[in-house]
């Protein structure tokens, strides 16, 4: 396959960037999107140009490091991560636009690399169960009904890639935050911190400068792990409940 | 049983000469380009034997308690004054960082990724073992201990493995308390499944994403400590050297991957939790950026490197699709619970799988190993796959693959049940290959997956450099020559949550608050200068080959000669070739850009520098160990049935190598393995 | 070792929590929107009395002023309602404005590759809201105060006033466009408010979507029926 790529190039956070056009040839349809970018980069290095910087690591769709906006879609046309998107979903001769996640809370670091540390701070604000090592009771002391365990798991699948924020016209992190809130709040182990968790995480989310939710549903459409939109509704419910219970 | 220098030299398949005096052990690192090819790297010398002096003696089941009791403690009020550096945020590092901070230590933690949540432990699929015996199927700490020692082909320490089995029980409790959503039965209790190499059901899992869920548990605990200010997290910062002052590990040299700045960080102890070195093979199931630099630099600074040739080849990976392949993807071993592995009976049978009738299929694992069947340990399953492919019976492009067929399971359990168990794996497979495994059997082939070798550590997980600890896959301690499925997660978390936090106290208490050191210390200045020089040189060569091309070359060389099966001739060939590649590297490497920016080519090239040295040690270790054991299969040492033949009389030891210079023959220190509880036998899974 | 990682003791008041949070502001919008929605249903039903002729319609308008008597003074009920509605409109608009500004700031740089996102109703919430706000101003100046009324405004004779307004082309255009905007606004707004208040979910998804569609259609059709009736001479 022969493709035309238009890639966002930006030397660093403080220098303005622009879309730059590259032609790549000899692309196999079995390549992943990142392997296609590898091919481009190998050529660029040999020409003495700087390769396109992009985040990636596991290339199995689980670490959440990779993620670019492909033709306007976070992670591209398939519902998966960029590393698991294969070139068979494109046609020979296509022009493909590749851009970084765009959000105020995800400043561009270089080219397609963005800073997602705001997600870590949201988790730090309450996305955990306080259980210092050694303090745990026997695992079978508290049975968890299977539906609750499954619900928790479905939300715990979030990989923190940021596609939800990138896809949201408001740059909102509601889906990411709600996934963690729902995962932990449904479990009996998470109950003691149920209220503080949701209040603190939502406050942290707001503080990081993410936008509000207008329920466009773009986040859930882009989510490679299929975190559903009702996840946000469930968090709203938790938040209102907590506001009533905890606030003075 | 005592191994002497003579007995090694006298082994039938190798003939090593003594180290010559001509080599310059103080060879400056920048001169490596000129010299390395001229010395006989394989002419290693035998140093003093090494012993694990920290392990208490007495009954194996009481040793861990004894060690914990005998270890000195640090007063809680004083812990704040101790700084511990933790490199890596995977299961071992994340758990250790969180736990040490909970105990009150000041932790400075590093990862090269943008977030601690991305460490490659996240990709572990199948599960985590624990001797809970919830199934009432005869499991116990004793049995997990036994299975692990046997699974490791009797090349692991009994004391360590027993401790691992004991702690396994606590890990599950800890993770459940953190909210890890393990699979549960309808009654609300935890579900388990079986894994390769064992006959009990002791593997706890969270669909096919157990590693992810366990890692997120550790990450969340770590995040809590970061938010509380107890852990100073340094993401996108890569350790490039170890600082050893007066014989003690006192800090690291690390590069901020965004600004390119090389800085120093000081501490009272350094913990390496940087994972394994499987990426030396270029194509592996490791994350693309997983690397060996932290452990290799520690090795260069004096930490012995043990059993580097013990690498695990995972039998169930998606076969490669072409030259562009950047990494290999694992399909969880748990698939072997329900999938049946087969190839056509006759070589060269190119019919689609559906057209091959039942009696023309060879379910070779079930045939050769009737009692374990498809659930034989990984090394055995991998080698069997290689054998049938070598016979020309492999399937798929290039004949490098075997079928993993779910037709029976779907008929027996229904598609829904299969989907529930393996849905995400099937989906992943379909994405990669565009084939639907519900309809067509999966094609799988072995790939490098895990490295049992690593930095030599004692019972306290301390390396031979005082104050330097290695945990998780970075050390060599618990898996011997082969790791059982679902045991990596167990070991990582055992080390991180329970073992290291109980043993590091002892070191910190005995070595209270050193005098402050800073960048002006000559050792520190030298380490920084060396690192900066290396990076500068990489940028200055301006050759005509990319870092990736060298990585590929060294990886292919290793896979061919130090992969699933090894022999003296191949290993010698690789040992001849590696110095040449190294020399070519420093002549032809091309790294665009500067060092004062995010420069992923520079990061890559710098990692390849270390691979080019590590690969050499792996080949030498494989050459010197003329026996077969676990993942290390020497063609010269096999039974009549083609199974690995261990030679306990000569090789019942851990090989700990001492670095003497790039390309110069290392010194071998042997740690004899003593088996008091599990008597070494020829492993049999038939 | 107990570690105080949360400031559990110092929680702000509920008002502050609500006003200080994006979810809180959305809650304010949801509640105020539902109040307005409830009013619109009553308003639309009252409007339909126009089909029973001038005396009944004017009588209904008069009754609204006497509502609540003798407990309340003349027109008090109406003024209370007006105050509540103004408060709802203001809160709804202020929150919308603040959230919109925040949302824009959260996406300072757009994508070079543009593509339509979300449904039409969702995308037009903001402009629809602005259209409705302008419409409300015109609507009050037209039919409540009479300031912008075409021809002579007659207090106490709403029937004639309505006929006057819908006898102008621009009166019809403005009104119909606004009502279509209203329909779209409710279509997404009602469902969205339910999600914000946490009453949505997989089980109720269909019921909520259907209710939103029915409400949006009924209100739009009910309101638009009046200018159509005036134009076609059914009312006049």
| pLDDT digit string, tens, across residues B477-512 | 899 999 998 999 999 999 999 999 999 999 999 998
d(CA A40, CA A46): 10
| pLDDT of residue B373 exceeding 70 | yes
Q: Is A224 an interface residue toward B (CB < 8 Å)?
A: no
| pLDDT of residue B323 exceeding 90 | no
d(CA B301, CA B316): 37
Q: Nearest CA to C105 among A14, A172, A163? A: A172
SS3 of residue A123 by DSSP:
helix
pLDDT in the model for residue C203: 84
d(CA B449, CA B468): 26
Both B514 and B638 in one domain: the answer is yes
d(CA B295, CA B293): 6
Chain A closest-CA separation from residue B488 CA (Å): 17
Peptide bond connecting C70 to the previous residue in cis, omega within 30 degrees of 0: yes
SS (HEC) of B483-535: CCCCCHHHHHHHHHHHHHHHHHHHHHHHCCCCCCCCCCCHHHHHHHHHHHHHH
User: Do B565 and B512 meet the contact criterion of CB atoms below 8 Å apart?
Assistant: no
Q: Is A184 an interface residue toward B (CB < 8 Å)?
A: yes
* Domain, as residue range, for B433: 314-449
Taking all residues of chain B, what is their mean pLDDT, rounded to a whole number? 92
Tokens linked to B387? 């054998």
Query: Residue A100: which residues within 8 A CB-CB, separation 6 or more?
Result: A8, A10, A68, A69, A106, A108, A111, A112, A113, A114
Both B469 and B579 in one domain: the answer is yes
Sign of CA dihedral B452, B457, B462, B465: negative
Backbone angles phi, psi at C207, to 5 degrees: -60, -40
Task: Give the mean pLDDT of B399-408.
Answer: 94
Last residue of a domain, which of B424, B449, B474?
A: B449
Task: Give the mean pLDDT of A228-236.
Answer: 96
Chain C closest-CA separation from residue B103 CA (Å): 7
Kindly calculate the radius of gyration of chain C based on its CA atoms and give it in whole angstroms: 21
Both B58 and B200 in one domain: the answer is yes
* Range 4-23 of C in CB contact (< 8 A) with B: 4-5
Identify the CATH number of the domain in which residue C200 sits: 1.20.1300.10
Q: Give, for C24, the enclosing helix (H) or strand (E).
A: helix C22-47
Backbone angles phi, psi at C64, to 5 degrees: -55, -35
| pLDDT digit string, tens, across residues C131-180 | 999 999 999 999 999 999 988 899 989 999 999 999 999 999 999 999 99
Note whether residue C61 is domain-resident: yes
Both B252 and B323 in one domain: the answer is no
Task: Give the mean pLDDT of B74-83.
Answer: 94
Q: Do B434 and A86 touch (CB under 8 A)?
A: yes
| pLDDT of residue B320 exceeding 60 | yes
| pLDDT of residue B377 exceeding 90 | no
Note whether residue C155 is domain-resident: yes
* Domain, as residue range, for C196: 24-105+120-231
Helices A146-156 & A174-185 angle (0-180, nearest 10): 150
Q: Nearest CA to B323 among A38, A94, A24? A: A38
Q: Do C198 and A237 touch (CB under 8 A)?
A: yes
As beta bridge partners, residue B238 has B255
Q: How many degrees, rounded to 5, is the angle at CA B262 between CA B260 and CA B266?
A: 140
Tokens linked to B523? 């050792």
pLDDT in the model for residue B28: 40
Chain B closest-CA separation from residue C5 CA (Å): 5
d(CA B666, CA B214): 38
Share of chain A above pLDDT 90, in %: 99
pLDDT in the model for residue C6: 52
For residue C5, list chain B residues with Cβ-Cβ distance below 8 A.
224, 227-228
Note whether residue B686 is domain-resident: no
| pLDDT digit string, tens, across residues B410-469 | 999 999 999 988 888 898 899 999 999 999 999 999 999 999 999 999 999 999 999 999
Both B361 and B374 in one domain: the answer is yes
User: Do B671 and B456 meet the contact criterion of CB atoms below 8 Å apart?
Assistant: yes
| Number of domains, chain C | 1
Size of interface A-C (CB pairs under 8 A): 154
Note whether residue C16 is domain-resident: no
Q: Is A47 an interface residue toward C (CB < 8 Å)?
A: no
| pLDDT digit string, tens, across residues B83-115 | 999 999 999 999 999 999 999 999 999 999 999
User: Do B162 and B61 meet the contact criterion of CB atoms below 8 Å apart?
Assistant: yes
Instruction: Determine the length of chain B.
Output: 686
| pLDDT band, very low/low/confident/very high, at B612 (cuts 50, 70, 90) | very high
User: Do B374 and B367 meet the contact criterion of CB atoms below 8 Å apart?
Assistant: no
Tokens linked to C98? 């603040």
Last residue of a domain, which of B388, B414, B449?
A: B449
| pLDDT of residue B519 exceeding 70 | yes
Query: Residue A198: which residues within 8 A CB-CB, separation 6 or more?
Result: A126, A181, A185, A235, A238, A239, A242
Last residue of a domain, which of B404, B433, B449?
A: B449
User: Do B481 and B630 meet the contact criterion of CB atoms below 8 Å apart?
Assistant: yes
| pLDDT band, very low/low/confident/very high, at B388 (cuts 50, 70, 90) | very high
| pLDDT of residue B8 exceeding 60 | no
Note whether residue C19 is domain-resident: no
Q: Do A170 and C106 touch (CB under 8 A)?
A: yes
- CB nearest C5 (choices: B76, B103, B228): B228
Task: Give the mean pLDDT of A36-40.
Answer: 97
Size of interface A-B (CB pairs under 8 A): 229
The residue whose two tokens read 């054991």 is: B629
Max CA pair span of chain A:
65
User: Do B77 and B100 meet the contact criterion of CB atoms below 8 Å apart?
Assistant: no
pLDDT in the model for residue B199: 87
Chain A closest-CA separation from residue C34 CA (Å): 16
Note whether residue C9 is domain-resident: no
| pLDDT of residue B24 exceeding 60 | no
C-alpha separations of B520 from B237, B301, B516, B526, B529 in Å? 22, 19, 11, 10, 12
| pLDDT of residue B276 exceeding 60 | yes
For residue B184, list chain A residues with Cβ-Cβ distance below 8 A.
143-144, 146, 149
d(CA B297, CA B274): 12
| Number of domains, chain B | 2
pLDDT in the model for residue B4: 40
Task: Give the mean pLDDT of B295-306.
Answer: 98
| pLDDT of residue B376 exceeding 60 | yes
Q: Do A51 and B322 touch (CB under 8 A)?
A: no
Both B456 and B444 in one domain: the answer is no
| pLDDT of residue B590 exceeding 50 | yes
Identify the CATH number of the domain in which residue B341 sits: 3.90.700.10
* Range 84-123 of A in CB contact (< 8 A) with B: 84, 86, 88, 109-110, 113, 115-117, 119-121, 123
Tokens linked to A88? 């068979």
d(CA B151, CA B630): 8
Note whether residue C147 is domain-resident: yes
Tokens linked to B483? 């790791």
* Range 187-206 of C in CB contact (< 8 A) with A: 188, 191-192, 194-202, 205
Chain-centre distance for alpha carbon B306: 12
| pLDDT band, very low/low/confident/very high, at A248 (cuts 50, 70, 90) | low
| pLDDT of residue B227 exceeding 70 | yes
Q: Nearest CA to B333 among B370, B378, B289? A: B378
- CB nearest B179 (choices: A51, A132, A184): A184
Q: Do A169 and C26 touch (CB under 8 A)?
A: no
Both B605 and B634 in one domain: the answer is yes
Chain-centre distance for alpha carbon B578: 22
Q: CB-hemisphere CA count at 13 Å for C200?
A: 27
- CB nearest A104 (choices: C5, C108, C205): C108
Identify the CATH number of the domain in which residue B515 sits: 3.50.50.60
Q: Nearest CA to B111 among B241, B312, B272? A: B272
Task: Give the mean pLDDT of C87-110.
Answer: 96
| pLDDT of residue B400 exceeding 80 | yes
Note whether residue C5 is domain-resident: no
Domains and CATH numbers, chain A: 3-110 (3.10.20.30), 117-246 (1.10.1060.10)
Note whether residue B106 is domain-resident: yes
Chain C closest-CA separation from residue B225 CA (Å): 8
| pLDDT band, very low/low/confident/very high, at C9 (cuts 50, 70, 90) | low
| pLDDT of residue C75 exceeding 70 | yes
As beta bridge partners, residue B192 has B204
d(CA B642, CA B635): 9
Both B366 and B387 in one domain: the answer is yes
For B392: left if phi > 0, alpha if psi spans -120 to 50, otherwise beta; the answer is: left
Both B147 and B100 in one domain: the answer is yes
SS3 of residue C135 by DSSP:
helix
DSSP string, B78-146: HHTT-EEEEE--SHHHHHHHHHHHHHT-EEEEE-SSSSGGGSGGGG--S-EE----TT-SS--HHHHHH
Lowest mean pLDDT among B4-18, B167-181, B433-447, B478-492: B4-18
Both B354 and B489 in one domain: the answer is no
pLDDT in the model for residue C18: 93
Active-site positions of B read 378
Note whether residue B565 is domain-resident: no
Query: Residue C169: which residues within 8 A CB-CB, separation 6 or more?
Result: none
Both B306 and B324 in one domain: the answer is no
Task: Give the mean pLDDT of B284-299.
Answer: 97
Both B331 and B427 in one domain: the answer is yes
pLDDT in the model for residue B547: 97
């Amino acid at each position: 396959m022969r493709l035309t790529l238009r890639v966002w190039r930006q030397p660093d956070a403080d220098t303005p960037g622009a879309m730059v056009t590259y032609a790549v040839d000899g692309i196999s349809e079995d390549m992943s999107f990142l392997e296609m970018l590898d091919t481009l980069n190998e050529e660029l290095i040999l020409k003495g140009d700087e390769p396109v910087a992009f985040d990636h690591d596991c290339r199995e769709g689980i670490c959440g490091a990779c993620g670019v906006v492909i033709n306007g879609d976070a992670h591209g046309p398939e519902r998966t991560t960029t590393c698991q998107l294969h070139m068979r979903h494109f046609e020979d001769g296509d022009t493909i636009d590749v851009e970084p996640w765009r959000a105020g809370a995800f400043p561009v670091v270089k080219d397609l690399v963005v800073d997602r540390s705001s997600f870590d701070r949201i988790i730090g604000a309450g996305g955990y169960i306080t259980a210092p090592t050694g303090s745990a009771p026997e695992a079978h002391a508290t049975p968890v009904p299977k539906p609750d365990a499954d619900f928790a798991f479905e939300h715990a699948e979030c990989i923190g890639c940021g596609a939800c924020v990138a896809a949201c016209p408001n740059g909102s992190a509601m889906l990411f935050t709600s996934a963690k809130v729902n995962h932990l709040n449904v479990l009996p182990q998470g109950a003691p911190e149920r209220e503080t968790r949701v209040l603190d995480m939502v406050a942290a989310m707001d503080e990081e400068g993410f936008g509000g939710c207008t329920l466009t549903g773009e986040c859930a459409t882009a989510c490679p792990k299929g975190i559903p939109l009702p996840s946000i509704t469930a968090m709203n419910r938790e938040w209102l409940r907590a506001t009533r219970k905890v606030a003075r | 049983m005592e191994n002497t220098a003579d007995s090694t030299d006298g082994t039938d398949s190798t003939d090593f000469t003594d180290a010559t005096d001509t080599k310059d052990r103080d060879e400056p690192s920048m001169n490596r380009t000129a010299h390395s090819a001229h010395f006989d790297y394989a002419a290693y010398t035998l140093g003093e034997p090494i012993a694990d002096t920290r392990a208490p003696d007495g009954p194996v089941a009481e040793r861990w308690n004894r060690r914990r009791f005998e270890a000195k403690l640090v007063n809680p009020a004083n812990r704040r004054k101790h700084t511990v550096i933790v490199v890596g945020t995977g299961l071992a590092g994340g758990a250790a960082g969180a736990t040490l901070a909970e105990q009150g230590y000041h932790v400075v933690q590093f990862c090269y990724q943008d977030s601690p949540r991305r460490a490659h432990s996240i990709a572990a699929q199948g599960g985590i073992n624990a001797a809970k015996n919830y199934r009432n199927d005869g499991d116990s700490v004793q049995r997990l201990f036994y299975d692990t020692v046997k699974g490791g082909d009797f090349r692991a320490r009994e004391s360590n493995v027993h401790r691992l089995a004991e702690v396994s029980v606590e890990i599950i409790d800890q993770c459940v308390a953190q909210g890890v959503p393990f699979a549960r039965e309808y009654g609300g209790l935890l579900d388990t499944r079986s894994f390769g190499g064992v006959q009990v059901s002791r593997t706890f899992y969270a669909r096919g994403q157990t590693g992810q869920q366990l890692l997120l548990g550790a990450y969340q605990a770590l995040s809590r400590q970061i938010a509380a200010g107890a852990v100073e997290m340094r993401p996108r910062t890569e350790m490039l050297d170890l600082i050893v002052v007066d014989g003690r590990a006192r800090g690291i040299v690390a590069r901020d991957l965004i600004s390119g700045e090389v800085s120093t960080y000081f501490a009272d102890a350094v913990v390496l939790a940087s994972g394994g070195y499987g990426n030396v093979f270029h194509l592996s199931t490791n994350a693309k950026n997983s690397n060996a630099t932290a452990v290799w630099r520690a090795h260069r600074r004096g930490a012995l490197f043990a059993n580097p040739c013990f690498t695990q080849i995972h039998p169930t990976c998606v076969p490669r699709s072409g030259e562009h392949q950047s990494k290999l993807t694992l399909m969880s071993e748990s698939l072997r619970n329900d999938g049946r592995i087969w190839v056509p009976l006759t070589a060269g049978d190119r019919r689609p799988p559906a057209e091959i009738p039942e009696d023309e299929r060879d379910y070779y694992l079930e045939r050769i190993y009737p009692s374990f069947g498809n659930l034989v340990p990984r090394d055995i399953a991998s080698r069997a796959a290689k054998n049938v492919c070598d016979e020309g019976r492999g399937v798929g492009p290039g004949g490098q693959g075997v079928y993993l067929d779910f037709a029976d399971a779907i008929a027996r359990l229904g598609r829904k049940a299969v989907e529930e168990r393996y849905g995400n794996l099937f989906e992943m497979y379909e994405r990669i290959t565009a084939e639907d495994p519900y309809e067509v059997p999966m094609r799988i082939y072995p790939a490098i997956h895990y490295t049992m070798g690593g930095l030599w550590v004692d019972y306290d997980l301390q390396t031979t450099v005082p104050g330097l600890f290695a945990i998780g896959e970075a050390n060599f301690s618990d898996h011997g020559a082969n790791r059982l499925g679902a045991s990596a997660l167990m070991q990582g978390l055992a080390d991180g949550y329970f073992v290291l936090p109980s043993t590091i106290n002892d070191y910190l208490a005995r070595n209270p608050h050193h005098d402050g050191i800073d960048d002006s210390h000559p050792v520190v200045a030298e380490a920084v200068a060396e690192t900066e020089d290396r990076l500068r040189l990489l940028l200055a060569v301006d050759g005509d080959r990319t870092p990736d091309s060298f990585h590929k070359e060294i990886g292919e060389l290793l896979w061919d000669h130090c992969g699933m099966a090894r022999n003296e001739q191949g290993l010698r060939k690789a040992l001849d070739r590696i110095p040449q590649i190294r020399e070519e590297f420093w002549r032809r490497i091309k790294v665009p850009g500067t060092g004062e920016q995010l420069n992923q080519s520079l990061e890559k090239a710098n990692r390849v520098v270390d691979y080019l040295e590590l690969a050499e040690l792996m080949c030498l270790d494989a050459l010197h160990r003329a026996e077969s054991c676990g993942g290390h299969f020497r063609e010269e040492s096999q039974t009549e049935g083609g199974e690995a033949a261990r030679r306990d009389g000569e090789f019942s030891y851990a090989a700990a190598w001492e670095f003497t210079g790039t390309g110069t023959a290392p010194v071998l220190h042997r740690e004899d393995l003593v088996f008091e509880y599990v008597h070494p036998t020829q492993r049999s899974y038939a | 070792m107990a570690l105080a990682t949360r400031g559990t003791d110092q929680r702000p008041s509920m008002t502050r929590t609500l006003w200080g949070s994006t979810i809180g502001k959305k809650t304010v919008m949801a509640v105020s929107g539902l109040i307005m929605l409830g009013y619109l249903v009553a308003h639309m039903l009252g409007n339909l009395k126009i089909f029973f002729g001038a005396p009944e319609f004017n009588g209904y308008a008069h009754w609204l002023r006497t509502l609540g008597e003798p407990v309340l003074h003349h027109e008090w009920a109406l003024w209370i309602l007006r105050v509540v509605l103004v408060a709802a409109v203001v809160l709804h608009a202020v929150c919308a404005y603040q959230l919109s500004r925040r949302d824009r700031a959260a996406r300072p740089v757009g994508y070079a590759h543009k593509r339509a996102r979300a449904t039409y109703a969702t995308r037009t919430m903001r402009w629809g809201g602005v259209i409705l706000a302008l419409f409300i101003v015109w609507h009050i100046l037209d039919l409540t105060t009479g300031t912008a009324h075409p021809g002579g405004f007659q207090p106490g004779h709403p029937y004639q006033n309505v006929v006057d307004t819908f006898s102008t082309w621009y009166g019809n255009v403005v009104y119909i466009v606004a009502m279509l905007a209203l329909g779209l606004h409710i279509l997404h707004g009602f469902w969205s408010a339910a999600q914000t208040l946490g009453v949505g979910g997989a089980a109720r998804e269909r019921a909520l979507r259907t209710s939103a569609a029915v409400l949006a259609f009924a209100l739009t059709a009910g309101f638009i029926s009046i200018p159509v009736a005036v134009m076609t001479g059914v009312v006049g």
